[in-house]
């Protein structure tokens, strides 16, 4: 080892500085296995360099270099058995960048030297020193031992080691392993630095007996050293554009390339080279910027160039890896070619009086890029268009010039027109000595037979409004342009919106036809227009416009709006409102206005002008709420005016609006309809009630034939009854006393076994002897009496004889009732009869009437005003009528139902 060290030292002294300011080109430095942070590794000789402009850099970031050439370790560095290599790069103003390779060679002798320098200080952690370095893609053989990891606790314990982390038990699994007994770290396969640049492994040590850790866990870093195994690649498309005729040195574009190897090393230092196109382009070897070397690039000759670019790492050294690519350089267009005409001059003809008509196409050629501002033509008429009779456009498809006549020409005034047309581009000319071109255009105006022409296209007359009808305004005449004569020309109105003017057909005189009103809607800014037409003998026409300037006269007085003005009532204060007047006349025939009250005003109001058109109207006394018509005298500046009535409402307000007005405003058409609809429904209901009542009365009203004379009376039957001959019915004579004291059975004895069908109050009643099925006689009498009480005696009329006979004589024919004129001749007699009878019945026993009143009466339908009769009881021999006392007092009024005789 001593001989090896002497060899290295001799080599350092012998190697001279040949061409570079860094000497030697390769430097070998013996070091120990671990270099502590702050240790000065070596000093590089920079004596031959320009110290003022010198810039030194290192490719290994674990070290730094001072300006005097000293290389110092920044961190703790591990040197593997095969050594460690990095480069020193130097750049000064005296020449190109220089490089020196520094090889750190492991030497056991250096351990003592480093200890003597006291840089290696024992740390508290009692483990072997990390990290370890492995060369990427090492060919092997595998497995390969790296280094032993030994804990100081092995001196006191029988220990074993474990390891974990990426490369052991996590991705990528199986790269490393650790001998548990010796602590030897082993690698099992090659590693790609671009995929795994570093591995951090965790090592633990345990006592074999107790299985307890004997030292703290240790994190070990395995650094993968880079080798130049990646070829540089282009990182962006090789497509560039540069304008034609650019100056030499103009940047075309920049070639971008990348290398996957370790940053900061020569493995990624790329050198750029052009292999073709060197006569036109150049490339910066360090930045990859492509520039032009000539200003003769012409797009119209060649618009695209293909050049080959080579990129090579290791700064282009022989051992570097390279790649080539083809760059496409396209020349951009500039406007270095003006448009050129295909002919030296052009001729065309145009008819007089024609307008907006294409008369000529002018083609041009341009070498610049099509459909760009450098190619698109723009034509200008530089001479001959002083009157604006022409315009020239560009056809967007063919790039031709389109010459139009826009204003009619007159053959009699000019038979020939000479124009000059220039062709330009939208873009200005650039980098050329050429100029815009112009050509002459000769136009011939051909003659046509024309219609008459008015003396001027428009004529103006001033007329005061309200001018009397028939007043002459003026004359508007025309002449034939060919003969310059007005003979045989007729004049007509084309438009006259308000029919204010009459035109004399032969002379063209204009007269007032109707009252001219300056305030009319047909007058705009005091101007009223009519259009006239002149027609010659050949029916050709010419038109003109008559402008009538209407002068104002003071024919309007100031007025105020007719709408209500609201004065909001305020407690303890008098209100006011602003009235605004308007006058349709113009100044000075209108505002400023004067406001005053009539001489006969009642001193309840006052008026004060606040500006030219408005005044304040205020009440001077407390006035009740309501609507007031206040006369106000308003006059214009000329004193022309009169009394105007201002409608003012004094009211309670909410937000400045009268409450009543607010409510009225809220009622729309639908609200009014909703209010009227209930009234209409109520009216319809009343009509229906009247109809039903009249109909019901017609059904229940019976004809009162007066004294029946003891014959059968018609009942209000719902169907046609059997006609009975009155001579066949024998009417017994029964006295009042007999009926009062006797029983109902005795009264009924005169008509034994008679079947009866009767209509009582709209209900049909049937009787056939004695019917035991109906026992509720009290309910029957009570219901009959209630119905009588409801409708009254006037409605029942002569039905009482029928009803009373049915109550007292349930067995006889109820359809034809026989009344004895001896006791039914008046209403009073029947009333006294019933009262006497009822008093007698009240003294009888309960069983007196049981056999006499049970009779059945059928129900003939619904709708009767009297309701159903129900059923009757069968009276027995018992004369006791006490049950009548339980029927209530209303039953006594049945006496009023007797038919008047």
Structure confidence at residue 204 (pLDDT) = 94
Q: What is the DSSP string of 12-54?
A: HHHPPP-SSSSB-SEEEEEE-SEE-TT-EEEE-B-TTS-TTT-
Residue 239 has pLDDT above 70, yes or no: yes
314-333: average pLDDT: 94
Residue 595 has pLDDT above 60, yes or no: yes
272-283: average pLDDT: 96
Q: What is the CATH number of domain 132-225?
A: 2.60.40.60
* Distance separating alpha carbons of residues 158 and 30, to the nearest angstrom: 36
Which of 377, 345, 382 shows the shortest CA–CA distance to 360?
345
Going by C-beta distance under 8 Å and a sequence separation of 6 or more, which residues neighbour residue 680? Answer: none
Structure confidence at residue 245 (pLDDT) = 94
Please state, as a whole number, how many other Cβ atoms lie within 10 Å of the Cβ of residue 737: 9
Residue 247 has pLDDT above 60, yes or no: yes
Q: Is 437:364 a contact under the CB 8 Å cutoff?
A: no
Of the candidate ranges 290-294, 364-368, 483-487, the one whose mean pLDDT is the lowest:
483-487
Structure confidence at residue 863 (pLDDT) = 52
pLDDT (tens digit per residue) in 657-692 = 888 644 444 445 665 677 788 888 888 888 888 777
pLDDT (tens digit per residue) in 401-439 = 999 999 998 887 888 999 999 999 999 999 899 999 999
Which helix (H) or strand (E) segment holds residue 391: the answer is strand 390-394
Which of 516, 498, 592, 502 shows the shortest CA–CA distance to 552?
516
Structure confidence at residue 745 (pLDDT) = 39
pLDDT (tens digit per residue) in 164-187 = 999 999 999 999 999 999 999 999
Structure confidence at residue 398 (pLDDT) = 94
- Band of pLDDT at residue 36, cut at 50, 70 and 90: confident
Angle (CA) 560-566-570 rounded to 5° is 140
* CATH fold match for the domains 132-225 and 340-446: yes
Mean pLDDT score of the chain = 78
* Distance separating alpha carbons of residues 772 and 855, to the nearest angstrom: 7
Structure confidence at residue 679 (pLDDT) = 86
Q: How far apart are the first and last CA of the chain?
A: 174
Please state which architecture CATH assigns to domain 453-551. Answer: Sandwich (2.60)
Superfamily of the domain at 565-666: Cadherins (2.60.40.60)
Q: Which CATH fold topology does 340-446 show?
A: Immunoglobulin-like (2.60.40)
Task: Go through the chain and tell me how many residues it has.
Answer: 901
pLDDT (tens digit per residue) in 204-230 = 999 999 999 999 998 999 999 999 999
Residue 899 has pLDDT above 60, yes or no: no
Residue 76 has pLDDT above 80, yes or no: yes
Structure tokens at 317: 């050294």
Structure confidence at residue 353 (pLDDT) = 83
Structure confidence at residue 270 (pLDDT) = 96
Going by C-beta distance under 8 Å and a sequence separation of 6 or more, which residues neighbour residue 244? Answer: 297, 298, 299, 300, 331, 332, 333, 334, 336
Structure confidence at residue 337 (pLDDT) = 94
Residue 440 has pLDDT above 70, yes or no: yes
pLDDT (tens digit per residue) in 480-535 = 877 788 888 999 999 999 999 999 999 999 999 999 988 889 999 889 999 999 99
pLDDT (tens digit per residue) in 545-585 = 999 998 888 888 899 988 888 888 887 788 899 999 998 88
pLDDT (tens digit per residue) in 736-759 = 344 333 433 343 343 334 333 333
Q: Is 333:368 a contact under the CB 8 Å cutoff?
A: yes
| Selected residue with higher pLDDT from 819 and 52 | 52
Q: Could you tell me the residue ranges of all domains in the chain?
A: 2-116, 132-225, 233-332, 340-446, 453-551, 565-666, 667-700, 705-719+727-897
Structure confidence at residue 792 (pLDDT) = 40
CATH of 2-116, one of 2.60.40.60, 1.10.1270.20, 3.40.1620.10, 3.40.50.740: 2.60.40.60
Q: What is the DSSP string of 723-758?
A: P--GGGPPPPP--HHHHHHS-HHHHGGGSTT-EEEE
How much is the pTM? 0.42
Dihedral of CA atoms 520, 522, 523, 524 in degrees, nearest 10, equals 120
Cα of 819 vs its chain's centroid, Å:
94
Rg, Å, the chain Cα set: 68
Structure confidence at residue 833 (pLDDT) = 66
Which of 202, 288, 292 shows the shortest CA–CA distance to 247?
292
In DSSP terms, 45 is beta-bridged to 23
Quick one: what percent of the chain has pLDDT higher than 70? 71
Q: What is the CATH number of domain 233-332?
A: 2.60.40.60
Q: Is 100:106 a contact under the CB 8 Å cutoff?
A: no
Structure confidence at residue 818 (pLDDT) = 38
821-827: average pLDDT: 49
Structure confidence at residue 850 (pLDDT) = 45
Residue 28 has pLDDT above 50, yes or no: yes
Structure confidence at residue 82 (pLDDT) = 73
Which of 419, 296, 418, 400 shows the shortest CA–CA distance to 339?
400
Residue 611 DSSP symbol: S
pLDDT (tens digit per residue) in 623-658 = 888 899 999 999 988 888 889 899 999 898 888 788
Residue 290 has pLDDT above 70, yes or no: yes
Residue 458 has pLDDT above 60, yes or no: yes
């Amino acid at each position: 080892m001593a001989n090896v060290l002497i060899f290295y030292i001799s080599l350092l002294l012998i190697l001279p500085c040949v061409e570079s300011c860094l000497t030697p080109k390769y430097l070998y430095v013996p070091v120990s296995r671990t270099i502590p942070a702050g240790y000065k590794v070596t000093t590089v000789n920079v004596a031959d360099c320009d110290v003022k402009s010198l810039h030194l850099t290192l490719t290994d970031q674990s070290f730094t270099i001072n300006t005097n050439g000293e290389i110092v370790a920044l961190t703790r560095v591990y040197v593997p058995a095969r050594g460690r290599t990095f480069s020193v790069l130097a750049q000064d103003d005296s020449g190109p960048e220089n490089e020196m390779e520094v090889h750190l060679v492991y030497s056991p002798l250096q351990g003592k030297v480093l200890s003597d320098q006291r840089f290696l200080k024992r740390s508290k952690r009692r483990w072997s020193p990390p990290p370890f370095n492995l060369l990427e893609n090492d060919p092997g053989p595998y497995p390969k031992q790296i280094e032993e990891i030994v804990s100081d606790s092995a001196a006191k314990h029988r220990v074993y080691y474990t390891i974990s982390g990426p490369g052991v038990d996590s991705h990528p699994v199986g790269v490393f392993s650790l001998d548990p007994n010796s602590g030897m770290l082993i690698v099992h396969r090659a590693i790609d630095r671009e995929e795994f640049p570093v591995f951090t492994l965790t090592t633990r040590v345990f006592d074999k007996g107790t299985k307890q850790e004997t030292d703290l866990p240790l994190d070990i870093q395995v650094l993968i050293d880079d080798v130049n195994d990646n070829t540089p690649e282009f990182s962006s498309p090789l497509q560039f554009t540069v304008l034609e005729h650019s100056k030499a040195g103009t940047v075309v574009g920049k070639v971008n390339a990348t290398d996957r190897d370790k940053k900061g090393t020569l493995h990624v230092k790329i050198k750029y080279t052009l292999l073709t196109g060197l006569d036109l382009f150049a490339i910066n070897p360090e930045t990859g910027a492509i520039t032009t070397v000539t200003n003769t690039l012409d797009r119209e000759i060649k618009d695209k160039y293909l050049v080959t670019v080579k990129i090579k790492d290791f700064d282009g050294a022989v051992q570097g890896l390279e790649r080539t690519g083809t760059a496409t350089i396209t020349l951009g267009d500039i406007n270095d070619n003006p448009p050129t005409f295909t002919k030296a001059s052009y001729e065309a003809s145009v008819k007089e009086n024609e307008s907006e008509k294409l008369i000529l196409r002018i083609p041009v050629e341009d070498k610049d890029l099509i459909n760009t501002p450098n190619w698109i033509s723009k034509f200008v008429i530089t001479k001959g268009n002083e009157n604006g009779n022409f315009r020239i456009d560009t056809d967007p498809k063919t790039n031709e010039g389109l010459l139009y006549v826009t204003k009619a020409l007159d053959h009699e005034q000019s038979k020939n027109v000479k124009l000059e047309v220039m062709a330009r581009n939208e873009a200005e000319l650039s980098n050329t000595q050429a100029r815009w071109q112009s050509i002459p255009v000769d136009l011939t105006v051909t003659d046509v037979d024309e219609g008459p022409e008015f003396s001027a296209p428009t004529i103006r007359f001033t007329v005061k409004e309200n001018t009397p009808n028939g007043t002459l305004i003026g004359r508007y005449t025309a002449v034939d342009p060919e003969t310059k004569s007005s003979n045989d020309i007729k004049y007509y109105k084309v438009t006259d919106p308000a029919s204010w003017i009459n035109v004399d057909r032969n002379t063209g005189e204009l007269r007032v036809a109707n009252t001219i009103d300056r305030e009319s809607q047909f007058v705009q800014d005091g101007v009223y227009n009519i259009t006239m037409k002149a027609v010659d003998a050949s029916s050709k026409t010419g038109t003109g416009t008559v402008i009538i300037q209407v002068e104002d006269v003071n024919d309007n007085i100031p007025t105020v709006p007719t709408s209500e003005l609201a004065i909001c009532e305020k407690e303890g204060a008098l209100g006011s409102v602003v009235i605004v007047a308007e006058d349709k006349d113009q100044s000075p025939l209108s505002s400023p206005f004067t406001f005053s009250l009539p001489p006969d005003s009642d001193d309840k109001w006052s008026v004060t002008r606040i500006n030219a058109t408005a005044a304040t109207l205020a009440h001077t006394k407390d006035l009740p709420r309501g609507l007031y018509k206040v006369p106000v005298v308003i006059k214009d500046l000329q004193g022309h005016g009169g009394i105007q009535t201002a409608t003012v409402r004094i009211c309670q307000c909410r937000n400045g609006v009268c409450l009543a007005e607010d409510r009225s405003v809220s009622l729309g058409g639908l609200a009014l309809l909703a209010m009227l609809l209930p009234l209409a429904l109520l009216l319809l209901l009343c009509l229906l009630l009247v109809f039903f009542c009249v109909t019901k009365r017609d059904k229940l009203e019976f004809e009162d034939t007066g004294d029946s004379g003891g014959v059968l009376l018609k009942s209000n039957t719902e169907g046609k009854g059997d006609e009975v001959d009155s001579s066949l019915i024998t009417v017994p004579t029964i006295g009042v006393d007999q009926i009062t004291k006797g029983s109902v059975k005795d009264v009924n004895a005169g008509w034994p076994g008679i079947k009866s069908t009767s209509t009582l109050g709209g209900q049909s009643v049937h009787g056939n002897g004695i019917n035991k099925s109906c026992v509720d006689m009290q309910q029957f009498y009570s219901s009959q009496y209630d119905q009588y009480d409801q409708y009254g005696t006037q409605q029942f009329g002569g039905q009482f004889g029928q009803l009373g006979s049915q109550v007292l004589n349930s067995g006889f024919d109820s359809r034809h009732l026989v009344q004895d004129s001896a006791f039914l001749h008046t209403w009073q007699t029947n009333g006294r009869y019933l009262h006497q009878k009822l008093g007698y019945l009240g003294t009888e026993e309960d069983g007196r009437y049981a056999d006499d009143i049970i009779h059945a009466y059928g129900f003939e339908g619904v709708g009767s005003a009297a309701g159903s009769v129900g059923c009757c009881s069968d009276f027995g021999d018992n004369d006791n009528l006490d049950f009548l006392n339980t029927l209530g007092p209303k039953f006594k009024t049945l006496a009023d139902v007797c038919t008047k005789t």
